[in-house]
């Protein structure tokens, strides 16, 4: 017999009550199905660090699947790194373009009218020709640049660093 707490026995047997009780049960079944499907379809998280490092070594810079540790493990410490609070433009290719990579006041091509903001980590590898940017410990942007461009960018970060106050420096996790 169904739980009829607070309802007289006659009302508990009505088809309406049975349908409502079944609907309540079906909501929980749907929640369990959605969670199970999400896990089965790969929403379980990041690949292992070894797999991430393999991707980096093979120059497969997969968005949202690589962490800064994978780059340091595969390519070594970057000659230049920079951290700051940054706005990101959500792009059609699922990347997040840092505001600093655009001319002032210009939206990027392919922007999907979605913006994120938070602490960004920039790593520049002039010997590899890559600028990689992380948001929430995930690779969200990569750009192939010449060694000269990456050295110029790194020197500009070093120059800016001289004039940053303690308030502007992102907090360490």
Q: What is the pLDDT of residues 107-131, one digit of tens each?
A: 667 676 677 899 999 999 999 999 9
Of 31, 137, 123, the closest CA to residue 78 belongs to 123
pTM of the model: 0.66
Position 116 scores a pLDDT of: 86
pLDDT at 100 over 90: no
Region 82-90: mean pLDDT is: 90
Length of the chain: 173
CA distance 135 to 66: 11
Position 169 scores a pLDDT of: 57
- In sequence order, what E strands does the chain have? 80-91, 96-98, 111-125, 130-135, 138-144
With contact defined as beta carbons under 8 Å apart, do 125 and 150 qualify?
Answer: yes
pLDDT at 44 over 80: no
CA distance 11 to 4: 9
- If DSSP codes are grouped into helix, strand and coil, which group holds residue 13? coil
Position 19 scores a pLDDT of: 56
Give the single-character DSSP code of 172: P
With contact defined as beta carbons under 8 Å apart, do 120 and 137 qualify?
Answer: no
């Amino acid at each position: 017999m169904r739980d009829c707490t607070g309802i007289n026995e006659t009302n508990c047997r009505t088809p309406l009550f049975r349908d409502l009780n079944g609907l309540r049960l079906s909501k929980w079944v749907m929640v369990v199905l959605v969670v199970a499907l999400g896990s089965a379809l790969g929403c379980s998280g990041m690949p292992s660090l070894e797999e991430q490092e393999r991707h980096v070594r093979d120059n497969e810079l997969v968005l949202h699947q690589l962490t800064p540790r994978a780059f340091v493990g595969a390519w070594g410490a970057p000659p230049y790194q920079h951290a700051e609070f940054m706005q990101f433009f959500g792009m059609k290719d699922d990347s997040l373009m840092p505001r600093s990579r655009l001319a002032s006041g210009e939206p990027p091509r392919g922007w999907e009218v979605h913006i994120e903001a938070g602490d960004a980590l920039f790593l520049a590898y002039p010997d590899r020709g890559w600028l990689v940017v992380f948001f929430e410990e995930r690779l969200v942007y990569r750009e192939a640049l010449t060694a000269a461009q990456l050295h110029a960018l790194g020197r500009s970060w070093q120059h800016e660093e001289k004039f940053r106050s303690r308030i502007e420096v992102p907090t360490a996790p």
